Structure 1
Amino acid sequence: MEEDTRDRPIPSGTAASTPAAQNGCSRQLTDDEVDRYSRQMIVPGMGKEGQLRLINSRVLIIGAGGLGCPAAQYIAGAGIGTVGIVDGDVVETSNLHRQVGHATSRIGMKKVESLITHLRGLNPLPSYIPYPTHLTPQNAAEIISQYDLIMDCTDNPATRYLISDMCVLLGKPLVSAASIQKSGQLIVLNCPPTPQGLVDGNYAPCYRCCFRKPPPPSSMVSCGEAGIMGPVVGMMGVAQAGEAIKILASALHIPPRPLADDDATPERNLRQPTLLIYTYDLESAVGPYSFRALRMGGRRRNCFACGEGSTLTLEGVQAGSPNYEQFCSMPTSRASLPQEERITAAAYHAAKERGELSEHILLDTREKEHFSFGSIEGAVNVPFGKVLMKAAAIMRDGGSGRDILPVEAGDRDAPIFVVCRTGLDSQETVEKLKELGLDDGGKRKIVDIAGGMRAWKQDVDPSFPFI
Structure 2
Amino acid sequence: MEPASGRAEQLRLQIAKAEAELRGLRLQLSQLETGQEHAPRDQSLHNNIPQNPEIESPGKWPLQQQEYERYARQLVLPSVGIAGQLRLKSAAVLVVGAGGLGCPAAAYLAGAGVGVLGLVDGDIVEVSNLHRQTAHSHTKIGMNKVDSLAEYCTDLNPRVHCVRHATPLTPENAGEIVSKYHVVLDCTDHPTSRYLISDACVLLQKPLVSASALRTDGQLIVLNNPPAPQGSKDGGPCYRCVFPQPPPPDGVLSCGEGGILGPVVGVMGVLQALEAIKLVAAGPPAQPEAPAPSLLLFSAAGTSTFRSIRMRGRRPDCFACGTSSSLTLDALKSGMVDYVLFCGIRSPVRVLLPEERITAAAYNNMVAEKPGFAHVLLDVRDREHHAIGSIPGAVNVPFSMFQRTGMGGQDGTRPDWLPESLPPDAPIYVVCRVGNDSQLAARKLQEMRTGSEHRFIGDIQGGMEAWKREVDKSFPFI
Interval of TM-score (by shorter of Structure 1 and Structure 2): 0.7 to 0.9
The one-letter code matched in structure 2 to 1:453 is M
1:10 CA displacement:
4.2
1:25 CA displacement:
8.5
Residue of 69, 73, 79 corresponding to 1:39: 73
Unaligned runs of 5+ in 1: 1-6, 258-266
Residue of 209, 231, 251 corresponding to 2:241: 209
Using the size of structure 1 for normalisation, the TM-score is 0.85
Q: Deviations over 1:416-455 (max 9, x none)?
A: 2211112222223233334444487x74432121211111
Residue of 244, 247, 253 corresponding to 1:221: 253
Residue of 357, 360, 364 corresponding to 2:375: 360
Residue of 443, 463, 467 corresponding to 1:452: 463
1:352 CA displacement:
2.2
Q: Which moved more, 1:120-129 or 1:352-361?
A: 352-361
State the partner residue of 2:102: 68
Residue of 350, 365, 388 corresponding to 2:365: 350
State the partner residue of 1:260: none
1:149-188 → structure 2 map (5 Å cutoff):
149-188=183-222
Instruction: Indicate how the Cα distance of structure 1 residues 319 and 454 shifts in structure 2: closer, same or farther if over 3 A, else same.
Output: same
> Are residue 400 (structure 1) and residue 406 (structure 2) matched?
no
> Are residue 464 (structure 1) and residue 475 (structure 2) matched?
yes
The one-letter code matched in structure 2 to 1:102 is H
Residue of 415, 435, 438 corresponding to 2:427: 415
Q: Distance in 2 between matches of 1:144 and 1:231?
A: 29
Q: Which moved more, 1:239-248 or 1:410-419?
A: 410-419
Contact preservation (8 Å) 1:387, 1:404: no
Instruction: Indicate how the Cα distance of structure 1 residues 399 and 141 shifts in structure 2: closer, same or farther if over 3 A, else same.
Output: same
Q: Deviations over 1:227-268 (max 9, x none)?
A: 10011000000000000000011124x8xx9xxxxxxxxx66
The one-letter code matched in structure 1 to 2:468 is K
Q: Distance in 2 between matches of 1:439 and 1:300?
A: 54
Residue of 249, 255, 276 corresponding to 2:281: 249
State the partner residue of 1:238: 270
1:3-402 → structure 2 map (5 Å cutoff):
9-11=42-44, 27=58, 28-199=62-233, 203-252=235-284, 269-281=289-301, 290-333=305-348, 335-355=350-370, 358-390=373-405, 400=410
Contact preservation (8 Å) 1:195, 1:306: yes
Q: Distance in 2 between matches of 1:61 and 1:443?
A: 57
1:460 CA displacement:
0.6
Q: Deviations over 1:346-368 (max 9, x none)?
A: 12222222329923221111111
Residue of 445, 449, 466 corresponding to 1:433: 445
* Count of residues paired in the alignment: 430
1:139 CA displacement:
1.4
Q: Distance in 2 between matches of 1:466 and 1:220?
A: 20
1:276 match: secondary structure? strand
State the partner residue of 2:23: none
The one-letter code matched in structure 2 to 1:294 is I
Q: Distance in 2 between matches of 1:274 and 1:26?
A: 42
> Identity over aligned residues, as a percent?
50
1:320 CA displacement:
2.3
Instruction: Indicate how the Cα distance of structure 1 residues 118 and 308 shifts in structure 2: closer, same or farther if over 3 A, else same.
Output: same
Contact preservation (8 Å) 2:105, 2:272: yes
Contact preservation (8 Å) 2:414, 2:451: no
Q: Deviations over 1:178-204 (max 9, x none)?
A: 0000000000000111111224x6x31
Q: Distance in 2 between matches of 1:16 and 1:402?
A: 70
The one-letter code matched in structure 2 to 1:428 is L
Q: Distance in 1 between matches of 2:372 and 2:336?
A: 50
Q: Deviations over 1:324-345 (max 9, x none)?
A: 1111111234645332232221
Contact preservation (8 Å) 2:123, 2:144: yes
The one-letter code matched in structure 1 to 2:224 is N
Instruction: Indicate how the Cα distance of structure 1 residues 401 and 130 shifts in structure 2: closer, same or farther if over 3 A, else same.
Output: farther
Q: Distance in 2 between matches of 1:444 and 1:326?
A: 39
Query: Which has the greater radius of gyration?
Result: 2
The one-letter code matched in structure 1 to 2:271 is A
1:400 CA displacement:
2.1
2:202 match: secondary structure? helix
Instruction: Indicate how the Cα distance of structure 1 residues 359 and 98 shifts in structure 2: closer, same or farther if over 3 A, else same.
Output: same
Q: Distance in 2 between matches of 1:169 and 1:439?
A: 59
CA RMSD of aligned residues (A): 2.9
Instruction: Indicate how the Cα distance of structure 1 residues 167 and 463 shifts in structure 2: closer, same or farther if over 3 A, else same.
Output: same
Contact preservation (8 Å) 1:401, 1:433: no
Contact preservation (8 Å) 2:215, 2:261: yes
Q: Distance in 1 between matches of 2:106 and 2:126?
A: 19
Q: Deviations over 1:15-35 (max 9, x none)?
A: 999xxx9xx999421112111
Q: Distance in 1 between matches of 2:196 and 2:328?
A: 12
Q: Distance in 1 between matches of 2:210 and 2:181?
A: 15
1:447 match: secondary structure? strand
Unaligned runs of 5+ in 2: 1-39
2:124 match: secondary structure? coil
Q: Distance in 2 between matches of 1:403 and 1:80?
A: 66
Contact preservation (8 Å) 1:439, 1:446: no
Instruction: Indicate how the Cα distance of structure 1 residues 271 and 357 shifts in structure 2: closer, same or farther if over 3 A, else same.
Output: farther
1:464 match: secondary structure? coil
The one-letter code matched in structure 2 to 1:116 is A
